[in-house]
Each structure stands twice: as C-alpha cells, then as structure tokens.
Chain A
Amino acid sequence: MAKKRVAVTGVGMTKQRSSRPDVTGIELINEAVRAALDDAGITRKDVDAIVIGNMDHFEGINYVDTWSVDGNGALMKPIMKVCTGGTTGTTVAMAAYYHVASGLFDKVLAIAWEKNSESDTTGAIITAFDPFWDRPCFAGAVAGLALEATQYMAETGATEEDAAYVAVRDRKHALLNPYAHLHINLTIEMVMESPYLSWPVKMGDMCPRTDGACALIFASEDVVDEFPHRPAWILAVADRHLWAYTSDPYVNQKMVGGTWFPAMEKATEEIYSKVGITDPLNQFDLAELYLPYSFAGLRYMESLGFCDRGGGPELVRSGATDLGGKCPVNPSGGVLSSNAIGATGLLRVAECALQLQGRAGERQVPNARLALATGFGGCFWSDELILGVDKPEKPRG
C-alpha cells in the first residue's frame, strides 16, 4: 500500500517542432518547466524535488541533471536523472510518482525532453546495441521495428494498408492539437505511396524526429487542493524491461509461451489486476500509446487486451479507436505526430492528464474518466500507467 496517493496537477509543454535553434536545451527545458509551474499556479520555490530524463547521446550532454540547472529549476534543490531509452519519459513519470508516493516529497517536478535536431538520431540509437554482438551487423530503430512488423504480418495476415490506418488516424488527431509537430492531413494512399525505409515500414509509417520538452507537477493527496485544476490521479504503474539483445524478443518466444510482446503483456497483466481492468476497450475512455511506428498500433492493441490476437486491424478499421469512437487512441496525435524521444513517454501521461481534467480543447474526449498511458523503448520494453478522475480508494503502486 503506497503511503500517499499521487496526482498530476500541472501540465506544461513546448510546441513540438522539427528544430528549435532559437533555444538551447536548457532554455527548451525552461519553457516547459515554466509552463507547468504557471499551469499549477506555483513557483520554483514551491517545488520539493525534481526528476529529469532524456537520452544522453541525442544531445551529447553528460550529467544533464546538473548541466541544465539554470532551466530545470534545481538550484539548491534535489534533482535526480533517470534514463531508460525510449521509455525515459514514462520512467520519469514513474520516478516522480514514487517520489511523492514515498511520503518524502509533496510537490515534484517531472521533466522530460529531447533536442533530436542536434544529433544524428540513428547514429545515436545504434550505440544502444551491444558492441560485440549487435552493433557491427544489426542496429538502428527502423530495422528492429521492421522485423516486428514482418513477424506480425506473417502470423496474422495483417497488411501494410492495415498499418496505414493507424498512421492516418494519429495524424488526423494531431490536426486538433496545436502542440503536435506534424500537422498533415494524411491519407491511406499517401502512406502507401511513401518510400520504404526498411520493408514493410515506409516513411508514412514512422514517427518524426522532434525537438520538445514536457514538464508535469506530481502532487500528494495532502496538497492537491492547493492547485487550480482538478487532480488526475495516478491509479497504478507497472513496467517490464526484459532482455538485453536485439534478437531476444524473437528467440525467447519459447521461454515466454509464445506471447508476442511479453514485456507489454506482463506489465499489462500486473497493472490491470491492480486497477481491476478486465475489458479495456469498454473501461478506458482513452489510451495514449507510445507507437513508434504504425504497425505497433495494431499489435499493441492485442497485447493490451483491447482485442484478440490478430484483431488489431479490424479494431482500428472499425473506428473504435478514432476520436468519437468507443476508446480513442492517441487523441494528441501520438508519437507518429511528435517524437522528442525522451519527452515522448511523459507527453503520453500529459495528454491523459489534460483529458481527465477536461482541458484537451478540440480533441477533448467527452467525460473522460479513465486513461491508459504507455512507453516503449529498449529492446521491446514496456512502461504503463493508468490515470483516473476518481481518487483511488486506497494508495496502490
């Protein structure tokens, strides 16, 4: 039983853009931090502790926590850096959650950011892979995802066009989000005609690379009444970071009983049991999923229990995951529309909070009360958080 119940009470973000040469990383961070403080009606002095995350090699900064003090607000305060690759943003959210749940801190500032314009994103990602076994022959984000897509299509009969529906949906949602990076009224034809990056993944299936920052205020149940917006309660968190090598998620099929995305399925099982989710499609009012590419928007729906195995394409084509559908997925426009990698996971949590607070503007899901946020990274790792309008009966992790 957690010591304190925890809520998101303030949301700040920069507009997600392809390049922000007008600011340094520190200044970009500061934009999001000040937006979050203003949104929460507090100042830097009110913050008890700070958690920050990004991926070191995307900006080439060692010790980002101490380097960015001018912008992150940590002058004479506690700050801690966390980093887990693509899941960094959700890892930041979880760390901020535990800071408050521990009872040690009441108001915690969570910051996640990336300036992908400042490096060769693929060049940096290649260094994530083992220097002996993976790096010399296999590396980079697109190739790993293409392997997953190939496997998924072979096993389910899903088509490239099915995946294109995901891309079109998320980009359409992004048109309603002024903070999103890509505002493109994408069509199925445009996706299908876009060039292949690594078969079957095409340009239109992939996320962009983005400059952006996000900051949230996490507060304990003791102080939530001090804030102007209603709390978006964190109901539970769970993650699995299985394995170390690129090929592990494939060769370990036997080990995990033939599941498709074991990290996500195991994290899902844990978090659903904590919150009592048995019918996610009907129970969740929205989901903000870290979909690094379109095919993930089919396969993850199955691993998250929104449909049966192989049912992803039908679910997405039915419109159930569109805004206005039964459970809109990625009303923010998702990762396919904005991907400042370190910030991406935290932006999922931010969108859930805004929706639950009824502050999502044109993309507002009516009467949103329960939301799922996920993070993706590493070698098919999964982070998950569930947020709700109703204060949980008792604290739980």
Chain B
Amino acid sequence: MENWRENQEIIVMEGRIKVPYTWAAGEVGTRYLETLRDQRKFMGTRCPRCEIVYHPPRRNCPDCFEECEDWVELGSQGELQSYTVVRRHHPQLSPLPLPFAYGIIKLDGADTGFLHILSDFQEGELAVGSRVEAVFAEEREGNIRDVLFFRPVKGVD
C-alpha cells in the first residue's frame, strides 16, 4: 500500500453548482428599471432628512433609515469618479470585447456614484473628473444592461 501513489494521480471530480435564481427588483427597483427601459431616464431617490439623492435608488436611507419616497430625475450624463480599463477578457464575466472599462459615474443630480461599463473611448481618453454619457440599447428589457455603456462626452474638455 505504501507506494500506491506512485502511479496514481489524485482524482479530481468536476462539478458545477446549478441553482437558478429569480431576484426580485422590488417596487423601488422596478420603478427605476421600468423608467430606464421605457423612458431612457435614470431616477434616484432622495432622503427627506439627509437630503442625499441616492443612485441606484434606495427604499430607505442607509444612514438615518427614513423612507426615501421622493423620486428625482437624473441626467444621463455625469462625472467619472473612477475607472479601470480591463485588459484581460473573462469568458463568463466580461460584458463586452476588450477594450472596455468599468467606471463609477456620478450622474448629474445624484449625490452618489454608480457602477457601469465604459466603451467607445480612445486609449488615454478616460480621466477621473471627465464627463461621460449613457448609450442606451435599442431593445431594452428592464435591466441595468439597457444602458449598453457610458462613453466620453465628445467635444467637451
């Protein structure tokens, strides 16, 4: 028995967890996604106490816990707060062919940034603080990918 390992590779069993999920967007998320889909508009919610406009919208303020019942229409342009150009394509995750980037974008009228994809940019064109705009999909389904990506606003310095 002592030498059984000499001619035996360790057996490895391949598997995959196959659990389907159906995540409810809730009432707040549904109103947001519906507006995005049907009107190509971003909406935030405002905390009545802290007066922070949250985007993505929140049902309650994470800080003071007030209900955020005021809806605020946001611009479809905003300021790039951070970005990273992705250099390695991931077959199951990457949403677009390389090169694309991720950005944190603070839309006009919002107090918080949100995460999205950046594309249609030249190498070196992206910069923290620069202006970007949303490009919507022609066919929209009521999810965050109804925005194909954000891109630099042309002709603005």
CB–CB A70/B27 < 8 A? no
Out of B20, B27, B63, B64, name the residue touching A119 (CB < 8 Å). Answer: B20
**Quick one: CB contact mask for A20-49 with B, threshold 8 Å, 1 for yes?**
111110010010001001000001100000
Which residues of chain A have C-beta atoms less than 8 A from B127's C-beta? none
Q: Which residues of chain A are near B21, meaning CB under 8 Å?
A: 59-60, 118-119
Other-chain residue from B18, B22, B29, B62 in contact with A75 (beta carbon distance below 8 A): B62
Within 8 A of B (CB), among A106-141: 115, 117-120, 123-124, 127, 131-132, 135
Q: How large is the interface on A (under 10, 10 to 19, 20 to 34, 35 or more residues)?
A: 20 to 34
A395 interface hit (Cβ, 8 Å): no
On whether the beta carbons of B24 and A118 are closer than 8 Å, the reply is: yes
Residues in A with CB closer than 8 Å to B27 are 22-23
Which residues of A are found within 8 Å of B18, using beta-carbon distances? Answer: 123
Decide if B17 touches A127 in the complex (CB within 8 Å): yes
Q: Is A71 positioned at the interface, with any CB of B under 8 Å from its CB?
A: yes
- Output the nearest chain A residue to B14 by Cβ-Cβ distance: A131
Question: B19 to A44, Cβ gap below 8 A?
Answer: no
Whether a CB of chain B sits under 8 angstroms from the CB of A57 is: yes
In this complex, how many residues of chain B approach chain A with their Cβ under 8 Å: the count is: 22
Q: Does A153 contact B (CB under 8 A)?
A: no
Given contacts A44-B65, A57-B19, A123-B18, contact A27 B25 (CB under 8 A): no
Give residues of chain B (4-21) contacting chain A, Cβ–Cβ below 8 Å: 13, 15, 17-21
A83 at interface by CB-CB < 8 Å: no
With an 8 A cutoff between CB atoms, is A297 at the interface? Answer: no
A82 interface residue per 8 A CB criterion:
no
Please determine whether B19 and A123 come into contact, CB atoms closer than 8 angstroms: yes
In the complex the two chains form, is B13's CB within 8 Å of A132's CB?
yes
Q: A120 and B19 in contact (CB under 8 A), knowing A20-B24, A24-B26?
A: yes
> Residue B35 at the A interface, CB < 8 A?
no
Q: Which of A24, A75, A123, A131 contacts B20 (CB 8 A)?
A: A123
Query: In this assembly, does A69 line the interface, its C-beta being within 8 Å of a C-beta of chain B?
Result: yes
> What CA separation (Å) do A37 and B28 show in the bound complex?
23
Is A73 on the interface with B (CB-CB < 8 A)?
yes
Please measure, in the bound complex, the distance between the C-alpha atom of A132 and the C-alpha atom of B19, giving whole angstroms.
19
* Contacting pair B24 A24 (CB below 8 A): yes
Is A127 in contact with B19, judged by CB distance below 8 angstroms? Answer: yes
B24 contact from A30, A37, A60, A117, Cβ within 8 A: A117
Which residues of A come within 8 Å of B, CB atoms?
19-24, 27, 30, 34, 37, 43-44, 57, 59-60, 69-71, 73, 75, 115, 117-120, 123-124, 127, 131-132, 135
30 A-B residue pairings within 8 Å (CB atoms):
A19-B24, A20-B24, A21-B26, A23-B26, A23-B27, A24-B23, A24-B25, A24-B29, A27-B59, A27-B60, A30-B60, A30-B65, A34-B60, A44-B63, A44-B65, A57-B19, A59-B21, A59-B23, A60-B23, A70-B60, A117-B22, A118-B24, A119-B20, A119-B21, A123-B18, A123-B19, A124-B19, A127-B17, A131-B13, A132-B13
- Sorted nearest first, the 5 A-B pairs with minimum C-beta distance are A21-B24, A70-B62, A24-B26, A23-B26, A60-B21
Besides A23-B27, A44-B63, A127-B19, 5 new A-B residue pairs in contact (Cβ under 8 A), listed by A number: A22-B26, A27-B60, A30-B60, A60-B21, A123-B18
